[in-house]
Amino acid sequence: MELKAEGASRWFFRSNKSSNYFYAVQKTDFTAENGKITVIGGKSGSGKTTFLNMLCGLLSPSEGSILLDGEDMYEMSDSRRSRIRNKLFGVVPQGQTGLKSFTVLENVLIPAQMYGSKTDLTEKAESLLDGLGILELKNVYANELSGGEMRRMSLARALICEPQFIFADEPTSDLDDEATSSVMKLFRICADKGAAVIINTHEKEVSDLADKVYRMDKGVLLPAE
């Protein structure tokens, strides 16, 4: 499957001297490459998160389009786009994103159970948690986790349905070197299986492990030097 951004931009209302809006992301062309880890670097507020959210179907572009196999994702119904996000996309949003009324294992299984799948993915969820070093926390409620543990749980949740496109926004921000290494290993495994992995980060260690690196600067996506 092919995921592309064609002239996609996004602006927001914000008053300043010259106008009352600003472009978070300028018109951008981009193709998510299957089987590769792509890293988008850049300073805070450069537009990385906005771009990632547009790519994964969570934020419509102001201009241009996001095409999945040639079909504009934002022309699709919400139900269909949500199903695509559930089955084909794995999203790790920024920040602490655990659902606090659920245990770690239940959090990880949410995408698999959302549309009534009969397949029991508990073993797979446990294996992912094991790979990320938090299996012993599987029955702990999300609100009892540390920041780093919560990030790893979010990652396991994003990977449970074996997505073809993985979008991770600062996935290693709260992690130590060892945990960062296990996360990147998991991403590599996914990429080797054919998934397109797109990571927003400003950590050099992560960029060093990427196949392709971009830099976002004031809403403009540029190839890294």
Partner 1 sequence: MSFVIRTALKNIKGKPFRSAVMIFLVMLLSFALFSGAFIILSLQNGLSAYKARLGADIIVVPSSASGHGTVDDILLQGITGNYYMNKKQLEKLDTIEGIEVSSKSFFLTSAKASCCSVRVQIIGFDPDTDFTVMSWIKESFSEKIGDNQLVIGADVTVPADHIIRFYGKNYNVAAVLDRTGTGLDSAVYVNMNTVKQMAEDASRLSAADGLEGIDPSSAASAVHIKVKEGYDINDVTDDINIHVPKVMASSSRSMISSVSEGLSGVSNMTGFLVGAVWVMSLVIIIAVFAMVSNERKKEFAVLRTVGASKRILFGIMCAEAVVESVIGALAGLLAALLAGISLSGLIKASLGLPFVTPDTASYTVICVCSLFLSAAAGIITAFLSAVRITGNETGLLLREDA
Q: Which is nearer to partner 1, 35 or 143 (CB)?
A: 143
Q: How far apart are CA 218 and CA 130, in angstroms?
A: 39
Q: Which is nearer to partner 1, 140 or 209 (CB)?
A: 140
Nearer to partner 1 (CB atom), residue 58 or residue 209: 58
Contact positions toward partner 1, by CB under 8 A? Answer: 49-50, 53-54, 56, 58-60, 78-79, 82-83, 85-87, 89, 91, 93-95, 97-102, 106, 110-111, 113-116, 141, 157-158
- Token pair in block for residue 93: 């949003």
Q: Give min distance, CB of 83 to partner 1, in A.
A: 7
Beta carbon nearer to partner 1, 89 or 181? 89
CA contacts within 13 A on the Cβ side of 73 = 28
Torsion sign across C-alpha atoms 223, 174, 181, 113: negative
The residues near 21 (Cβ < 8 Å, ≥ 6 apart) are 11, 12, 13, 14
Residue 220 Cβ, how far from partner 1 at the closest point, in Å?
A: 19
82 vs 182 by CB, closer to partner 1: 82
Closest by Cα among 165, 136, 142 to 32: 165
Using alpha carbons only, give the angle 122, 123, 128 rounded to the nearest 5 degrees.
95
Least spacing, CB of residue 192 vs partner 1, in Å? 24
Q: How far is the CB of 22 from partner 1 (least distance, A)?
A: 13
Shortest distance in whole angstroms from residue 101 CB to partner 1: 3
Provide the token pair at 105. 């294992």
Distance, CA of 57 to CA of 75 (rounded, Å): 11
Report the residue number, 80 or 185, with the smaller CB distance to partner 1. 80
Q: How far is the CB of 160 from partner 1 (least distance, A)?
A: 9
φ/ψ of 141, rounded to 5, equals: -75, 145
